[in-house]
Amino acid sequence: MITGVGVDVVDLARFERTLAHTPRLRERLFADSERGLPVRSLAARFAAKEALRKALGRSDGLIWTDIEIVPNEHGDPDFRLHGDVADVVASHGVQRLHLSMTHDAGVAIAFVVAEGGSEFLGGGADV
């Protein structure tokens, strides 16, 4: 059962300016493994984290660095959740998260579908 859907879009030029203007933002938004990536990849990961928040229908208890975007065994983007974020997702009855990301034509977009067995209405990778 789909328990939530989230989508987000990020303007690449604006995101790059924001990162340049606020250098510590990388540390607040991204896990260590993500920080060295190109801006377009960071923007797609930020969109994915926002899309997850939207799929869950709330942002309390979500710490950006506890949401890590990693390749799965097939090389596709997947979530690796840590700390309180993993607990929040599990408390919503989410059993699997599906993530799709892209960047082109000056934007980065991410789409998240949350699956679970509960009746939670808010938000595929196994959680």
Q: Kindly report, residue by residue over 57-71, the tens digit of the pLDDT.
A: 877 768 999 999 999
Please state, for a pLDDT cut of 70, what percent of the chain lies above it.
91
Q: Which residues contact 87 (CB under 8 A, 6 or more apart)?
A: 61
CATH value at residue 39: 3.90.470.20
Domain extent for 16: 2-126
Spatial CA neighbour of 69 closest among 89, 92, 87, 52: 52
Please state, rounded to an integer, the average pLDDT across all residues of the chain: 90
Eight-state DSSP code of residue 33: T
Judge whether residue 123 has pLDDT over 50: no
Side chain identity at 64, as an amino acid letter?
A: W
Q: What is the pLDDT of residues 87-102, one digit of tens each?
A: 888 888 899 999 999 9
What is the tens place of the pLDDT at every residue in 17-47?
Answer: 999 999 899 999 999 999 999 999 999 999 9
Q: Tokens standing for 46?
A: 């930020």
Number of domains in the chain: 1
